[in-house]
Amino acid sequence: MEKILIVLHGSPRKEANNWNPLIKSLAYSLKISERDIKLAFLQFGKPSIEEALKCLLEEGASRIVVHPFFLTAGQHVTKDIPSILAEFQKKFPKKEFIYTEPLGFHEKLAEIVKERIEEKIKLSGKEIEEKSFEIIEREIDLSKFSKEEKVIIKRVIHATADFEFKDSMVFHPEAISQAISLLRAGRDILVDVEMIRAGINKRFGKNRVICYLSEIEETGEGTRTEKAIEKALSDEKNIGLIAIGNSPTALLKAIEILKDRKERDFVVIGMPVGFVKALESKIYLSSQSFPFITNFSRKGGTPACVAIVNALLHLAFGQGEVRYSA
């Protein structure tokens, strides 16, 4: 059984010795239990290194990896901690004690210092967005996607803080170009719920955003969103984008109505969220011949759907890189 011991110097200020978030983060990264990681302090904090080592051995550890949570290899790292480990190795010759290097210089330390500096400088919305994009592009590989697809996926990840969308997003080959053409032609955007309408950027284009949900009363059969989509597609003649981010039944109804249309002058954005019919409705959407954007996941919802529509609006009317505006 392997255990990990993180050794800190310790501070007389009690709050400065609370490094439990480090244990949680490290356990998550290493995919191990938090119980297999302990903190110890050279001074001012509890437990001491000796106390922590005894505790780990009593828990059955056969190997203990000791990491000095220090920036440089000073006396504590090169003499004090090794001498304690040497004593324990002598007392417990059948146990294995592994001593790692301190933090030392790492390129990510420079990034952390940069972040700490920027935290004290008031950033504009544009600067915050650019920083977010930098982080996204640094942490994931989007090289397999087209330039326009990258714009949309980055916007969805930015809105949801969920990198899974990189692997789950699906684009009909004509969806983005057709959506841009429809928006530039002044076609309307139909949505399933008011929250999506509220989130769509009004600064670009003059496209009307339509939601019929408030006009539908609760009845026995079918959902209100399903009936709202049906009524809108019947009454409105200028709809170009159908953006559904919450209701799987609304998406299924839209597909039912649109799949037999001879004219393919529309794009369906299907991002419903949930456990019942959400994924199934998206898979069904992906089997259609008309243009669509969706994702193969239970995840989705208003933020993801709004991000896609706003990205398309920026691609249609914006200048250069897409800029976010809720």
- Run of H or E residues at 129: helix 125-139
Q: How far apart are CA 299 and CA 159, in angstroms?
A: 13
76, 106, 158, 314: the catalytic one is 158
Q: From 21, 15, 24, 69, select the one nearest 44 (Cα to Cα).
A: 15
Q: How far apart are CA 186 and CA 14, in angstroms?
A: 61
Q: Phi and psi of 200, rounded to 5°?
A: -75, 135
Question: What is the 8-class DSSP label of residue 157?
Answer: H
- Run of H or E residues at 209: strand 209-210
Which structure tokens are listed for 219?
């009845």
Sign of CA dihedral 49, 50, 51, 52: positive
3-state secondary structure 219-235: CCCCCHHHHHHHHHHHH
The three-state secondary structure class of 188 is: strand
Q: CA angle at residue 196 from 195 to 202, to 5 degrees?
A: 110
67 is catalytic: no
Any idea which residue has 């006396």 for tokens?
Answer: 75
Which structure tokens are listed for 217?
């009363």
Catalytically annotated residues: 158
